[in-house]
A and B are shown apart, each in its own frame.
Chain A
Amino acid sequence: MLLSYLKIAWKVLMRRKFFAFISLFGVSFTLMILLVMMALFDHLVGPSTPARRLDRMLFVNTIRHQMAEGNGWMNMPASIHFVDDYVRKLKTPEKVGIITASSNATAFTKSKLLALDLSYTDGNFWQIMDFDFLGGRAFTGAEVQAAQHVCVLNEATARGYFGTADVVGRTIEIDLKRYRVAGVVRNVSAGHLYAYADVWVPYTLSPQYFKDNRIEGEFLMVMLAPSAATVPAVREEYRQMMRRVEIPNPKEVQALFSYADPVLESFTRALLNHEDQTVDEDNLEAFYLIAGSLTLLFMLLPALNLVNLNVTRILERSGEIGVRKAFGATGRDLVGQFLVENVVLALVGGLLGLGLAAGALALLNQSHTLAYAHFALNWWVFGWGMVLTLLFGLMSGVYPAWKMSRLNPVVALRGR
């Protein structure tokens, strides 16, 4: 029976190739876009090297200064004073690491100029992140404290500068400063905002390493909780700590706000909370709600297209419906048949969507839009995409199928 249904589903699909193409295109193109979006999303906020222990990590990317006398807001990363005197004194995090957003730097080889992204970090950063070391090691806390000129290079820089990745112990000159290479790591995608760079050097070498009591600086913080279960405790302790922070310039700054957030929340808070930053709301639910609604809305279009196509198909097939009823098909049999057809259509569309998404991601990877990013199709995402497509296949088939099953066989046979 199923085979017969599948056979006729395929024939009906092929009968009106143009409409089938439009319909399949709608389903597959939608799924492709969703899959690509999900792959990007997963790449940006999903656990992957070097942020493998993402479930235990918390990030602080800004300290919001509410300026006095209604002079607005100033959002800046943290200073070393803030990190050392407040955050590193927290009891619940296992480790607190820092990194600056990458800045431009240049290195010259005999024949070319290398434009590099350089970040300043501390020793803890290397213990929180799990980089893939091709050779050597990370620099240590002691080396950082001693402000030694050591660095970690990514593979591309090592090969670009030395022509090989086997360069531990050699010297590289960047912005007229010489650094000894302590280690070489596999390239990290620029999508990893809290880890990406071409070159990492001790923060004590940073020109922004001021030793006064200012709060604003250039350091992003990464905290590692002892376990995923203790993450809320770390967030709470950070919250408590913020109440104790002494404002060095109270005439200019009225209040300070900062939150330790998991990676996605660290973005959603900034993205959706720009109106009133005094409210402690990470907006994760709002983000999911908006993203979910947009996804549903986006999928509604091909679903409506399918409904429309199905209703047209019913009109074409009233004779068949009449014959099937005359020969003993129940309403349920017909609904089943039609749903099978629709699900087949959705499945074919889904598989095409998978192929299209794989192609689109390959193009994106090839174009190097995001340095060292390798977007991959996520099977988990694809699974969900297919479930949603099937769901829409069913939803868009139920109404036409029900309508079809209610047709009076005499009327159906007359072809009206």
Chain B
Amino acid sequence: MTDAPLLSIKGASKRFGAIAALEDVSLEVGAGEFFALLGPSGCGKTTLMRLVAGFETLDAGRIEIGGADMSGAPPHRRPVNLMFQSYALFPHLSVFDNIAFGLRRQGKGRAEIAARVAELLQIVRLEGVEARRPDLLSGGQRQRVALARALAPGPRLLLLDEPLGALDRQLREETQFQIKEIQRRLKTSFVVVTHDQDEALVMADRIAVMRAGRIEQIGAPTEVYERPATRFVAGFIGQMNFLEGHIENGAFVGAFGRLPAEGGGLLQGAKAVLAVRPERIAIAPTTQENPGLDGVVEDVAFRGETTHFRLRLPGGETLRVSRGADSGAPFCVGDAARISIAPEAGRIFASE
């Protein structure tokens, strides 16, 4: 990044009693970037977001927004707004007054507030409900009001805590794209906290995968997906096969046989795990003259765009394989199949 980062977190640590919620976390979010904090519940992502918003104080480390140190700054003096997971809409105020809340605190005039609220309602595609109370709105409408309210003061950085968590599946997918579109239009930096890998992959420019108060990997969605830095990241994002084995002469050797694979810096004889995505495994009939491992098809699941196979290898391991529709010979349950894994398709991690 050439520009100075909008949000800079350096060595952030936070404990709650005996529990370390965050340990030495550092990351940077650029201006106009869509950033995702991804991890299972309890990984510290919400704590990190609350620290940025100013609801918690750091035990160690430093948070800077736009170059200014935020230590000691109360929430109402930070150029950051937060969209709450529960939405936290004010039940005693109308939709209009909810969205206008931040504008009134800025001392804006009546006409300016009305214009800005109308603009925001149009941005989130929710017009005609200004006078209603939040409890009379649907879940999807409430979510939009919460987004509009958080955007209203024009923050440089918007934090979104599980913004789609309370929506049903269909609405969620639709809203993912809307949020991304709004972010692109407004060029505000978004930091979204989520436990849903799909959300992070679809929306974010970069993802920080967190686990137990630490950051495991920061990278673009393709990078995190294709080149997971740790075994945890490999298993957390997307479908993944893990095969146990060890390293022998530049090849990965398991109970099933041996596969040519990059050693990943592991020593000869070291115990290792091979991680390989289902779609990176080639599957073909055994009759063909190609090298590979033979297995038996245990299950075939047709899912429209893709077909998923479950194979049993000679060593007893099961392997999930997927491939695009109408690519190659059909397989039935009980068929023998030959699979091959290209050296660059798998990642090798040390056994834990």
Binding partners A and B: no
